[in-house]
Copies of this chain bind each other. A is one copy, B any other.
Amino acid sequence: MGTLRQKTSLEDIYAPVQEKLKKVPDTVLAILTSPNDLAGEVIRYFFSRQGKLLRPALTLLGAEMFNRGPSGSGGDPERRLLHLASAFEVFHSATLIHDDIIDSAYIRRHIPTINVKWGPEVAVLVGDYMHDRANRTIFYHGDEKIMALFLQTAGTVCDGEIHEIKEKDNFNLTEEEYIEIITKKTAELLACTVEAGGLFAGATPEQAAALKRFGRNFGIAFQITDDCLDFTGQEQEFGKTLGKDCAVGVLTLPLIRLIHLVDENKKGQVFKIFKSEMGTRKYETLYAMVTETGAIDYAMARAREFSDRARLELAVFCDSPAKQSLEQLVQYVIERKR
């Protein structure tokens, strides 16, 4: 495990699939080609800032795990795989755009959100458009198994988001329920992308199931880290509005842990701060509380627990550069600052 502990850049981690991954941004734009000027403008704007391309990278790495060398793959399967990987990024982007309406977020990837720049009506429709295109692309470039997996997952993601809204302001939300929500809204899609890559490249049902479990644990670790960064991150680096979970009433693990640690009296106080409108002050007060009580440390320990589970799921696979990348990626997401 020693080599995993050193800081590795995302670029290094993506090395085994970098040639293919480089083509993802253009493929995303090709998938989203629209005769409509407005849609085209919004889409170019949104993708002018690259995200981490985690989902396409997972699909490509998932497929790469079963790579029997370049002789086995003709031009066509490679094109299909590239479209699949890109479609997952398109679907993910559609959910981000709708999320930003829900959270009234004003910054995404360092630039104003579509919701802020064009209004919710455009954000609703462009999100729908991207969702449609993702569906079509996966239908045409995947197979029946991959399409079924994706449709199942898309439903779960949405269910998770509705679940999250339903539990807004619920100070009795348990850690287990929180894990269930983030599993549905985040981890299942990450699991789907890596499993789809494996399925595409001929993984057995057992191998596909191991990849799914890897992705799910990886995703939970990823989301817990994200929720900690919502408190501890640097806005400039994180690229999102800080404290936005609290601002919209979403309880995440650091806060759930804080509520668990304090007595009833203090709990009421935390609730009052949580429900207050005090902006930056509110965020700073909560930040102090979750760090001083060790709630953040606890949350990050839980993230590491899930990341360990994720790595364990990879044990059944032979060693390969792609496998090493998946291992490094697990480490990367819990150590990241953005």
Contact = CB atoms under 8 A, between A and B. Distances in A.
A161 B163 CA distance: 28
Nearest to A248: B121
B155 A38 contact: no
B139 A147 contact: yes
A245 to B, nearest CB: 14
Q: How large is the interface on A (under 10, 10 to 19, 20 to 34, 35 or more residues)?
A: 35 or more
A287 interface: no
B102 A124 contact: yes
A151 interface: yes
A150 B152 CA distance: 18
Contacts of A35: 159
A129 B101 contact: no
B98 A124 contact: yes
B101 A121 contact: yes
Interface stretch (A80-88, A130-138, A224-232, A255-263): A130-138
Given A101-B121, A165-B122, A139 B148 contact: yes
A37 interface: yes
Interface in A97-131: 98, 101-103, 120-122, 124-129, 131
B165 A129 contact: no
A58 interface: no
B155 A133 contact: yes
Contacts of A278: none
A338 B242 CA distance: 48
A166 interface: yes
A89 to B, nearest CB: 18
A39 interface: yes
Contact of A159 (B34, B151, B162): B34
A158 interface: yes
A36 interface: yes
Contacts of A38: 162-163, 165-166
Given A37-B166, A38-B166, A151-B135, A158 B101 contact: no
A60 interface: no
24 contacts: A34-B162, A36-B159, A36-B163, A38-B163, A38-B165, A39-B159, A39-B162, A98-B125, A98-B128, A103-B121, A120-B120, A124-B124, A125-B162, A128-B131, A128-B161, A129-B155, A129-B158, A129-B159, A132-B151, A132-B155, A135-B154, A136-B151, A139-B147, A139-B151
Q: Which 8 A-B pairs have the closest CB atoms?
A: A102-B121, A38-B166, A132-B155, A129-B158, A136-B151, A132-B154, A128-B158, A39-B162
Given A125-B161, A135-B135, 8 more contacts: A34-B159, A36-B159, A98-B124, A101-B124, A122-B165, A126-B162, A136-B151, A136-B155
